[in-house]
Chains A and B, each alone.
Chain A
Amino acid sequence: MDQPQDPRRDPRGGRALTPPELRDLVADTLAVWEVAARPVIADGAVVLVAPDGTALRITAAAPNDLPIRWWLEKPDQKRPCTSVTGLLRSLRNAVGAGEGMFSRVKVARGA
């Protein structure tokens, strides 16, 4: 008898983040940026209020939206993100954390 499958899980094990997992990642990342904002789950989305008072909402994109994986919504804008790293970059701008610590990884030259 077939076992019920997690619709988020693909045959190789990849799956979308659950809302609690996304909330925890966003909370930690906000702490890294030293931004005072508390993400919570509401209606399956992760929502937070930026320090300037802007309401932000993060939702997983529908499978048919690929390559879009995430939506970052502000009251007057819905921004598509194709990866979780892209989502974090967009969120960083949205909460006003800027790019003060931006550094690109650099690989040292080998022998």
Chain B
Amino acid sequence: MIPVAVLTGFLGAGKTTLLKRILRDPAWADSAVIVNEFGEVPLDHDLLAVSDETFVSATTGCVCCVLRSDLGATLLDLARRRAAGEIPGYARVLFETSGLADPAPILHALIGEPGLTGTHRLDCVATLVESVSGAATLAHHPEAQRQVMLADRVVLTKPDLAPDTAALRDAIAALNPAAPITQASFGALDPAWLFAPAERAIDPEPWLGARHTAGVATSIILREAPLPALALTLWLQALAEHAGPRLLRVKGLVELEESPGRPVALHAVQHLVHPLEWLDQWPSEDRRGRIVLIGERLPPHWPARLLAAIEEEVRSASAG
């Protein structure tokens, strides 16, 4: 499986600067790079100074709007050429989105594209937020909010220009309290931290104290008891049916009645559910099931109420 890391961030956040620095590190030079530039004239190839063979510039539009299917084809073509020895081997793919990209459709492609899921593995989403104007950007641009909401890690860039980042950190935490935040000047950051595979286990604590920012709602469901698998299936369908694209992300760790003692990790981006991943055991002493949902303009108690109603009905039907 070829690991894929997504590097995103709003216009001017410093994605290319960071990527350039990372690729200068010998340990990370063996990365294939896909850059989605929003414009007719590709610049990033020159800026990054990586080899032609393992660099793909996608300039026909914003990847989340136009290139979703092309992204899968590009990754598969790179993998085919690598296997055939036509290009140098590479250990991973780093995908830099355009600054205006909504990452959700990109994640859809990476975890749902036929043929891709057998060869590639989405490891993480790293989001850059520029320290000087980041708060205003988050306040005014839904794309920037979504980039933060979907992040596994957040990097504050240009902190030398705006040393006081407390308000910005609060704004980021309101959107995504679980993503660790660090800062980096001129791309100086340990790539092993930035691109490490995202944690599967969901820690509910950060979400319990989550604030809601305008239009964005976070819901958390904590459970002591296992859940019937059918209830989980019907609930996910109902969420997709009624919330549609406003449901941005679902992450969870739950125990199913049919699989006692082996919790399943649940990941979904909008209506696309990643295959459940069975863990051999609970990752910690905390054996509560927990599901975190991030959405736009969703009543915070709605997911839990919906799940409770469906679960009771499934249990009732089973008993009958």
Residues on A facing B (Cβ under 8 Å): 10-17, 21-22, 24-25, 27-29, 31-34, 66, 69, 83-85, 88-89, 92, 100-111
- Name A26's closest neighbour in chain B (CB-CB): B305
Instruction: Describe B's contact surface by its main secondary structure.
Output: helix
Asked if residues A101 and B313 are in contact (CB atoms below 8 Å), the reply is no
Given pairs A21-B309, A83-B313, A107-B275, 6 additional interface contacts (CB within 8 A): A15-B312, A28-B301, A85-B310, A103-B244, A105-B241, A111-B121
Asked if residues B237 and A105 are in contact (CB atoms below 8 Å), the reply is yes
* Complex Cα gap A10–B239 (Å): 26
User: Could you say which interface size class chain B belongs to?
Assistant: 35 or more
Q: Which residues of B are found within 8 Å of A108, using beta-carbon distances? A: 111-112, 117, 272-275
Asked if residues A10 and B275 are in contact (CB atoms below 8 Å), the reply is no
Q: Which residues of B are found within 8 Å of A33, using beta-carbon distances? A: 242
B306 CB–A CB distance under 8 Å: yes
Kindly identify which residue among A21, A83, A109 contacts B112, using a CB–CB cutoff of 8 Å. Answer: A109
One digit per residue, 1 when the CB lies within 8 angstroms of any chain A CB and 0 when it does not, for chain B 251-295 equals 000000000000000001011111100000000000000000000
* Complex Cα gap A93–B197 (Å): 43
A and B contact pairs by CB, cutoff 8 A, 20 listed: A10-B319, A11-B319, A13-B315, A14-B312, A14-B314, A14-B316, A14-B318, A28-B302, A32-B298, A32-B299, A32-B302, A66-B320, A88-B238, A102-B241, A103-B244, A104-B241, A105-B239, A105-B271, A105-B272, A108-B111
Asked if residues A14 and B313 are in contact (CB atoms below 8 Å), the reply is yes
- Name B119's closest neighbour in chain A (CB-CB): A111
Residues on B facing A (Cβ under 8 Å): 1, 111-112, 114, 117-118, 121, 234, 236-246, 268, 270-275, 297-299, 301-302, 305-306, 308-310, 312-320
Asked if residues A106 and B318 are in contact (CB atoms below 8 Å), the reply is no
Asked if residues B302 and A101 are in contact (CB atoms below 8 Å), the reply is no
Asked if residues A16 and B242 are in contact (CB atoms below 8 Å), the reply is no
Asked if residues B319 and A25 are in contact (CB atoms below 8 Å), the reply is no
Decide yes or no: A17 and B121 within 8 Å by CB, A24-B301, A104-B240, A105-B237 being known contacts.
no
Decide yes or no: A111 and B117 within 8 Å by CB, A21-B309, A105-B273 being known contacts.
yes
Q: Which residues of A are found within 8 Å of B121, using beta-carbon distances? A: 111
Most A Cβ at <10 Å: residue of B114, B121, B272, B316 = B316
Decide yes or no: A103 and B270 within 8 Å by CB, A12-B319, A88-B242 being known contacts.
yes
* Complex Cα gap A66–B313 (Å): 12
Q: Which residues of A are found within 8 Å of B243, using beta-carbon distances? A: 32, 101
* Complex Cα gap A86–B297 (Å): 23
Kindly identify which residue among A10, A25, A31 contacts B320, using a CB–CB cutoff of 8 Å. Answer: A10
* Complex Cα gap A98–B121 (Å): 37
